[in-house]
A = this chain, B = another copy of it.
Amino acid sequence: MNYKKIDSQDIAFLLSVCGKERVFTGEEIHESYSRDELVNEHLYPEVVVEVLHTEEISQIMKYAYENNIPVTPRGQGTGLAGGAVAIHGGIMVSTVRMNKILELDEENLTLTVEPGVLLLDIVKFVQKNDLFYPPDPGEKSATIGGNISTNAGGMRAVKYGVTRDYIRGLEVVLPDGQIMTLGGKTVKNSSGYGLKDIIIGSEGTLAIVTKAILKLLPLPKKALSLLVPFPDLAQAIETVPKIIKSKSIPTAIEYLEREIILASEEFLGKQFPDKSANAYLLLTFDGNSNEELEEAYEKVAHICLEAGAIDALISNTQERQDAIWSARGAFLEAIKASTTELDECDVVVPRDKVADFVKFNDELQQKIGIKIKGFGHAGDGNLHVYVLRDQLEEKEWQDKLAQAMDAMYAKAKEFGGEVSGEHGIGSAKKPYLEATKGCEYMELLKRIKLAFDPKNLLNPGKVC
Binary B-proximity of A30-53 (CB < 8 A = 1, otherwise 0): 000000000000000000000000
CB distance from A26 to the nearest CB of B (A): 34
State whether the Cβ of A344 lies closer than 8 Å to any Cβ in chain B: no
How far, in angstroms, from A248 to B218 measured CA to CA in the complex?
8
A424 to B190, CA, bound (A): 5
A219 surroundings in chain B (CB, below 8 A):
247
* A164 and B441 alpha carbons, distance in the complex (Å): 21
Residue of A153, A195, A295 with highest tally of chain B CB at under 10 A: A195
A104 to B457, CA, bound (A): 45
Asked if B188 and A448 make an inter-chain contact with CB atoms under 8 angstroms apart, the answer reads no
B418 close to A189 (CB less than 8 A): yes
Q: Which of A105, A165, A346 has the most CB of B within 10 A?
A: A105
Given contacts A245-B106, A440-B178, contact A420 B151 (CB under 8 A): no
A107 to B202, CA, bound (A): 30
The reply to whether A184 and B451 form a contact with Cβ atoms under 8 Å apart is: no
Stretch in contact with the other chain, from A155-163, A228-236, A273-281: A155-163
Closest to A241 in B: B107
Q: How far is the CB of A404 from chain B (nearest CB, A)?
A: 19
Which residue of chain B is the closest to A149 with respect to CB atoms? B190
User: Is A185 engaged at the interface, CB distance under 8 Å to the other chain?
Assistant: yes
Decide yes or no whether A288 CB sits under 8 A from chain B.
yes
A12, CB-defined interface residue at 8 Å: no
Contact A107 B245 (CB under 8 A): yes
A14-22, A62-70, A319-327, A349-357 - the one binding chain B: A349-357
A348 B188 Cβ-Cβ under 8 A: yes
- Collect the chain B residues with CB atoms within 8 Å of residue A194's CB: 151, 164, 194, 197-198, 200-202
Instruction: Output the nearest chain B residue to A242 by Cβ-Cβ distance.
Output: B107
In the complex, A445→B180 CA distance in Å?
13
- For A249, the chain B residues whose CB sits under 8 A away are 217-218
Q: Is the CB of A190 within 8 A of B417?
A: no
A100 to B423, CA, bound (A): 36
With a cutoff of 8 Å between Cβ atoms, the chain B residues found around residue A174 in the complex are 444
Q: Which residues of B contact A419 (CB under 8 A)?
A: 191-192
A346 to B164, CA, bound (A): 24
Q: Oligomeric state, in number of copies?
A: 2
Q: Is B191 within 8 A of A420, CB to CB? A: yes
**A350 in contact with B185 (CB, 8 Å):** yes
Report yes or no: B416 in contact with A184, Cβ–Cβ below 8 A.
Answer: yes
Give Cα distance in the complex from A195 to B350, angstroms. 19
Chain B residues, Cβ within 8 Å of A162: 187-188
Interface of A is mostly: loop
How far does the Cβ of A416 sit from chain B's closest Cβ, in whole Å? 5
How far is it, in angstroms, between the C-alpha of A185 and the C-alpha of B195 when the chains are bound? 23
Q: Which residue of B lies closest to A436 (CB)?
A: B191
Whether A201 contacts B190 by the Cβ 8 Å rule is: yes
A292 within 8 A of B: yes
Most B CB contacts (10 A, CB to CB) among A188, A201, A433, A449 go to: A188
Contact present for B187 and A445 (CB under 8 Å) = no
Q: Are B437 and A186 in contact (CB under 8 A)?
A: no
Q: What is the distance, in angstroms, from A135's C-beta to the closest C-beta of chain B?
A: 11
Residues of chain A in range 355-380 having any CB-CB distance to chain B below 8 Å: 377, 379-380
Question: Is the beta-carbon distance between B418 and A184 smaller than 8 angstroms?
Answer: yes
Interface string of A402-444 (1 = CB under 8 A from B): 0000000000000011111111110001000100110011001
In the assembled complex, A307 has its CB within 8 A of some CB on chain B: no
Q: Does A464 make an interface contact (CB < 8 A)?
A: yes
At the interface, yes or no: A150 with Cβ under 8 Å from chain B? Answer: yes
Say yes or no for A452: interface residue by CB 8 A criterion: yes
Tell me which of B192, B421, B463 contacts A189 (CB under 8 A): B421
CB–CB A416/B186 < 8 A: yes
Q: Within 8 Å CB of A218, what residues of B? A: 247-249
In angstroms, how far is the closest chain B Cβ from the Cβ of A442? Answer: 8
27 contacts between A and B (CB under 8 A): A130-B247, A164-B197, A184-B416, A186-B416, A187-B348, A187-B381, A187-B382, A188-B421, A188-B422, A189-B201, A189-B348, A189-B420, A190-B346, A190-B422, A192-B425, A192-B437, A192-B441, A193-B202, A193-B445, A193-B448, A193-B449, A194-B197, A194-B198, A197-B197, A198-B198, A288-B292, A289-B289
The 9 closest A-B pairs by CB, nearest first: A218-B247, A107-B241, A187-B380, A197-B197, A447-B451, A185-B350, A188-B421, A107-B352, A153-B188
